[in-house]
Structure 1
Amino acid sequence: MKKVYAFFLIGAMFLSALAAGCISNTEPSTTPVETSTLTNTVPLVTDSNGNVNMQDLQSYIDSLPSEPLTDAEKEGLLFMVEEEKLAHDVYTKLYEKWGLQIFSNIARSETTHVESVRMLLKKYNLTDPTANAGIGEFQNPELQALYDQLIEMGMKSEIDALKVGALVEETDIRDLQERIAMTNKIDIITVYENLMMGSRNHLRAFVSQLKNRGITYEPQILSKDEYEQIINSPMEMGGGMGGRP
């Protein structure tokens, strides 16, 4: 992969990697139901800091039956657990470099995101590609290259580091939206919806930090309208096991 320095090219690389992880030649064995119906009823157990309530989520996942997964659903879970780990690892390294509390806080939140996907890997007997992997180590070669590029960029300055954080969260939102559209499994949709809510809150936090430094962040992955809708909305708080807030 060519060495990329321009910010918008790193965003393009993210999209390329996501496409590599998302596309499957295998048609789903079941027809996905209208996801808007499901996402209006799944429990959101994520707080305004993006932390997932693991106990509540585990209880809900355990209450649902295990059904055969399509190849696309399996691929999605394996990719997502590494993508969430990428976010955690990037923020951990950027905190070590710059000492900004936002990176420490969101890295802890990303730990709950990784563990949320791991719940599903365990439920469906899928081998966890992040098991025993160290910081910055990934089985997916595209994610490995992306991690290296993002770290290189984030080490340049605090501003660049915060832009990396916003870019990671934008990408996570887009990828989760695509994953939700590829499944009809309520447990998978529930996890993805909670992670996406956390990512929206994280994006708001990074953009706010940049604004405080006089920087106007321009979206790299999301459309301008979608980005503005997120940024101009308050931090979200899950309503718990009763469903959406």
Structure 2
Amino acid sequence: MKKLSTLFLMGVILLGVLAAGCTSSQTTTETTTPTQTNTVPLVADSSGDVNTQDLQSYIDSLPAEPLTDAEKEGLIYMVEEEKLAHDVYTKLYEKWGLPIFSNIAKSETTHVESVRMLLKKYNLTDPTASEGIGEFQNEELQKLYDQLIEMGMKSEVDALKVGALIEETDIKDLQEWLSRTNKVDIITVYENLMMGSRNHLRSFVDQLKNRGVTYEPQVLPKDEYEAIISSPMETGGGMGGKP
């Protein structure tokens, strides 16, 4: 019960960071599911790794249009959030030696690089450029990182719950930022990252299930969460845009 209470508290903390990162006065009601219609090329695989070479080629083929303040804010926030996931998983792998953390940390590297492509394209300063593991310019993300590490160091189960919680939050944040842009290149990156996060969430939930633990969603609506974990791993179809 104590662990469940701790997880609930972390969910509340994550929701607070979500609110800080996405300042829109309205929350999107759109539900993202694995069966959404693909209007952009999906170049992530079942491990969540993004084919950055293909993605870069596609991004370069699109014109650089003026960004809104919200679009700039979203890119700067998401590059640090993806780095947070990478850094947490790196530290949890060092502690527990579970391959899932090493594998997904590698995948998160491609997620960070995907957002960096857009920062470079639009001449935005990369807040992660000179930051080491566990270092963030966003104060709320710095605080969140510290809290997640503290929780994940308690046990393997707590560490896996941290992973699931991060992926839930990543999906929710990406949905929010998607609702605030109409730029095809940004949408393409966010859709690929979100598909990767759904695969990562499935992996963490499966690992917990193998240990006899039923994970309860902390951030996503339960019906959306169930739709994700009850669906198979997704694989992008490359530049054709069809899975």
Deviation, 1:141, is: 0.3
The answer on whether the counterparts of 1:48 and 1:198 sit within 8 Å (CA) in structure 2 is yes
Alignment of 1:185-204 (within 5 A): 185-204=183-202
2:23 is the counterpart of 1:23: yes
Query: With structure 2 as the length reference, what TM-score do the two structures score?
Result: 0.92
Q: Which runs of 5+ in 2 are unaligned?
A: 26-31
Using the TM superposition, name which of 178-187 and 8-17 deviates more: 8-17
Cα shift readout 1:43-101 (whole Å, capped 9, x = no counterpart): 00000000000110000000000000000000000000000000000000000000000
Q: Which runs of 4+ in 1 moved over 3 A?
A: none
Cα shift readout 1:27-51 (whole Å, capped 9, x = no counterpart): xxxxxxxx9xx96310000000000
2:14 is the counterpart of 1:14: yes
Alignment of 1:81-120 (within 5 A): 81-120=79-118
Cα shift readout 1:119-172 (whole Å, capped 9, x = no counterpart): 000000000000110000000000000000000000000000000000000000
Cα shift readout 1:190-211 (whole Å, capped 9, x = no counterpart): 0000000000000000000000
Query: With structure 1 as the length reference, what TM-score do the two structures score?
Result: 0.91
Deviation, 1:24, is: 5.7
- Identical-residue share of aligned pairs (%): 82
Distance in 2 of aligned mates of 1:39 and 1:149: 36
The answer on whether the counterparts of 1:47 and 1:238 sit within 8 Å (CA) in structure 2 is yes
2:205 is the counterpart of 1:213: no
Alignment of 1:160-199 (within 5 A): 160-199=158-197
Distance in 2 of aligned mates of 1:97 and 1:212: 20
The answer on whether the counterparts of 1:24 and 1:71 sit within 8 Å (CA) in structure 2 is no
Alignment of 1:20-169 (within 5 A): 20-23=20-23, 40-169=38-167
Distance in 1 of aligned mates of 2:89 and 2:54: 26
Aligned positions, number: 230
Distance in 2 of aligned mates of 1:167 and 1:52: 21
